Structure 1
Amino acid sequence: MRLHRNLVFAVIDGLHEIFNEGAYADKVVQKLLKRDKRWGSRDRSFVAETLYEIVRWKRLYTEIAEVKEPFSRENLWRVFAVWATLRGISLPDWKQIGPTPTRRIKGRFDELSKIRKFKESIPDWMDQLGEEELGKLWNKEISALNQQAPVVLRANTLKTTRDKLRGLLEDEKIDTEFIKGYPDALQLTERTNVFTTEAFKNGLFEVQDASSQLVANFLDIQPGQRVVDTCAGAGGKSLHLAALMENKGQVIAMDIYDNKLKELKRRARRDGAHNIETRVIESTKDIKKLHSKADRVLIDAPCSGIGVLRRNPDAKWKLQPEFLDKIRKTQAEILENYSKIVKPGGKLVYATCSILPSENQEQVKTFLSKEIGKEFTFIKDKKILSHQSGYDGFYMALLERKS
């Protein structure tokens, strides 16, 4: 592979923003890809994938390069040289790239690969927490969470079927395959930008990981019901709920962030989802108004996001142990308060994109021991680990309010 100066400089600029300025990797990539209109898909792919790769292996690469934060430009070039050397890429004779001791880099890599926190490139506290909560499974799980996530689509059944969508994408030179056990999912056989396709512009699909697609189905919904998505965000699951309900009944999508709900409205228009109503949660009154009014309630709770590290590798460096303590408290409060929206005989799903029992099973167990929790019956739960499924780590529990 021949390295091109303008592409590598873009990667270095991106690393500076992510590592030194705390910018989010996905936002940085989005911005960088607009830098030069002459770049083709291969150029864009190099910038995005190299940036994510170095972010993912930040601890390992910086340890090999013997550099520490905050990283100077010179140090970022050293980290880049480690990445290139380990991939067998010849480094050009540029003034930014100093002498690169290939043998020492490979030797150091072999040495550090025997220590899990370096091999899997994670902070000490996260490694310790993973082992405490998952035991021996942590080895396999953190390894799986360091793989590149596949691109999975969900056919929008309000407008098409999975089979028809596959044919339309083939016409646009995009190959996909079915995934057993996921009725509306198609997985790309090769990564490509699907957002420029006519099929996407016409609202025929959403990009949604296979594990995430299981949540709406878990809620056991029927057309005509009143369903409340309490932490809707930009609405990936609200849109799926609307499709499963065939646009009949009502989906009330709630969130504390108005800008996310505006994005959901835009997506709903494109998808032809007409039964979604958005509501901003401004105070506890907004929740109280709905007490005992919903047939189904989805609590897709805020969480550590450890189950989705494959698509958000920079979260490894942004997450802090204090945040986890805070988020567990928030999860417990949300579950206690929002469960009151379920009417007698109705059902509730508590879900997270975390793999930690302390955010999942233990939260449900604690809730069921509380006063409001005694009004609910535990029906079933599902724990999805990345190394077993090949998709994001997820948890979902189905509860029913007693009549």
Structure 2
Amino acid sequence: MKLYRGLVGGTVEALQHIFVRNRQADRVVEQILKSNKKWGARDRAFIAENTYEMVRWWRLVKYAADMPKASDAQDFWHLIGVWQLIKPLHLSTEPVELLPEWPEFSAIDPIRVKERYVEGLQTRKVAQSVPDWIDEIGEKELGEKWGPELVALNKTAPLTLRVNTLKTDIAAVREILGSENTEMVSGVPEAITLKKRQNVGSNEAFKNGLFEVQDAGSQLIAPFLDIRPGMSVIDACAGAGGKSLHISALLQNTGSVLAMDIEDHKLTELVKRAHRNGVTNLQTMLIDSEDSIKSLSETADRVLLDVPCSGLGVLRRNPDSKWKLKPEFLNSIRNVQGQILSTYCRMVKKGGKLVYATCSILPSESEDQVQLFLKENVKKWKLVSEHRTSVAHDGFDGFYMALLERKR
């Protein structure tokens, strides 16, 4: 494989935005790829792949480079050169030709780099490229399960779609995308995984609302609500609204779906997505105070609380978040989770049900929160069932979901 200066420069720029300016990787990559119209598909693939690979393996790359911190452009050029040397060893990819004799690579010693790389593999937090505190809390909460989960979280996530049953069925979408390029997901009836990645956003079937991009684990949450047509359902932490749209489809456009969130721009985008999906039973509401919740007391047959969390179950998709996440955030978000569960549960009718969900692999954000809530509300609520997906064993993102029933 030959390196081209302009493409390496684009990767340098992307990494600086992510690690120096603290911007989100997906938005950075999207912006960089749009910045040069002369780049072809292979050029864009080089920048995107190398950026995400280096973000994923950032600690290991820095260790191999013997560079504790990167700040200026020269540091990032150096690190990209180091990554090109260890990438074939680490990912079993095509080896790079000799590094170009560019000034930015002049200080790289290939022999020393490979020695450091082998040395780094002896320590899990370096080899699997996570901060010390995440490795420590993962081991503390998951024990022997942490190692396999961590390895799985460093693999590239599959591209999984949810077929929109309001407009089509799984057979029709597979025919459109090519049955040879798609496969169904066992236990997730509306899920299709693409064998070869592609930009589905430009696909006419996507533009016409025949499918949405949604991980298979995420697709298990809406059905966990035990929904029947005609019900009133509130998605109280709707965010981008993927699960709201799924709920509408499960209701077959009957009953009502109220999607709520504290960020108005997300709800605005959800309205556009709902229109594209042919959803007619969905409304949105901005949460601007606790009065929003009180006004809906005992009005819903079902409530979904996909609460804010650390996101440690979706690191495959957001590898940069492990470098941005801080221990103090985890402590504060646990308090938020408990507050949301104890407050928002009031919207459920007596005899109704609620699902508490997280995209975290940590019990302290998931099972422990539910058990604490049940202990404090033993006379009012009971646990019906709970389920957890494992990145290592299921191949899905790491989700937790608990179905709770409000006693009559």
Normalization by structure 1: what TM-score?
0.97
Residue in structure 1 matching 2:395, options 390, 395, 401 = 390
| Paired position in structure 1 for 2:33 | 33
1:110 to 98, 118, 129: 118
Give the aligned partner of residue 92 of structure 2. none
Asked if the contact 1:229/1:253 (under 8 Å) is kept, the reply is yes
Looking at structure 2, the residues matched to 191 and 9 of structure 1 have their Cα atoms a distance apart, in angstroms, of 25
Q: Judge conservation of contact 2:65–2:116 (CA < 8 Å) in 1.
A: no
Q: Please state how far the C-alpha of 1:49 moved relative to its aligned partner.
A: 1.3
Deviation (angstroms), 1:97: 1.9
Is the aligned partner of 1:161 residue 2:169?
yes
- The residue number in structure 2 matching 1:340 is 346
1:237 aligns with 2:232: no
- Asked if 1:257 corresponds to 2:266, the answer is no
Provide the rounded CA distance (Å) in 1 between the counterparts of 2:222 and 2:272.
20
Tell me if 1:402 matches 2:402. no
Q: 1:378 aligns with which of 369, 383, 391?
A: 383
What residue is the counterpart of 2:72 in the other structure?
72
Secondary structure in 2 matching 1:231:
coil
User: Which has the larger displacement, 66-75 or 1-10?
Assistant: 66-75
CA-CA distance at 1:99 after TM superposition: 4.2
Q: Are residue 96 (structure 1) and residue 101 (structure 2) matched?
A: no
One-letter amino acid matched to 2:395: G
Contact 2:224 2:403 in 1 (8 A): yes
Please list the CA deviations of residues 32-68 of structure 1 after superposition, one character each: whole Å capped at 9, or x if unmatched: 1101122222222211111011011111111211223
Structure 2, unmatched stretches of 5+, are 89-94
**C-alpha offsets along residues 208-243 of structure 1, whole Å, 9 cap, x if unaligned?**
001000000101101111000000001010010011
Secondary structure of the 1:33 match is helix
**C-alpha displacement of 1:94:** 2.2
What is the number of equivalent residue pairs in this alignment? 400
Cα deviations by residue, 1:362-388 (Å, 9 ceiling, x for unpaired): 0000001114x5311101100111001
What is the SS of the residue equivalent to 1:285?
A: helix
Q: Distance in 2 between matches of 1:328 and 1:196?
A: 38
Q: Report if the CA contact (8 A) 1:20-1:69 is conserved.
A: no
Structure 2 letter corresponding to 1:228: I
Partner of 1:131: 139
Contact 2:309 2:365 in 1 (8 A): yes
In the aligned structure 1, how far is the partner of 2:40 from the partner of 2:199? 12
Quote the offset at 1:295 in angstroms.
0.3
Contact 2:70 2:76 in 1 (8 A): no
Do 1:254 and 1:281's aligned partners in 2 also have CA atoms closer than 8 Å? yes
Residue number in structure 1 paired with 2:297? 291
User: In the aligned structure 2, how far is the partner of 1:335 from the partner of 1:268?
Assistant: 26
Task: Specify every segment of 5 or more residues in structure 1 that has no aligned partner in the other structure, as ranges.
Answer: none
Partner of 2:91: none
SS in 1 for 2:313: helix
Give the whole-Å Cα distance in 2 for the aligned partners of 1:346 and 1:42.
52
Extract structure 1 runs of 4+ deviating beyond 4 A: none
For 2:149, the equivalent position in structure 1 comes to 141
Question: So what's the TM-score if we normalise by structure 2?
Answer: 0.96
1:85-144 deviations in whole A, cap 9, x for unaligned?
Answer: 012312222232224322221111111101011001111111100000000111101110
Residue identity matched to 1:238: S
Aligned to 1:186: 192
CA distance in 2, matches of 1:42, 1:227: 45
Equivalent residues in 2 for 1:265-284, closer than 5 Å = 265-284=271-290
Secondary structure of the equivalent of 1:374? coil
* 2:103 alignment partner, SS class: coil
User: RMSD of aligned C-alpha atoms?
Assistant: 1.2
CA distance in 1 between partners of 2:356 and 2:307 (Å): 7
Which amino acid in the other structure matches residue 97 of structure 1?
Answer: F
| Corresponding residue SS for 1:136 | helix
Fraction of identical pairs, as percent: 51
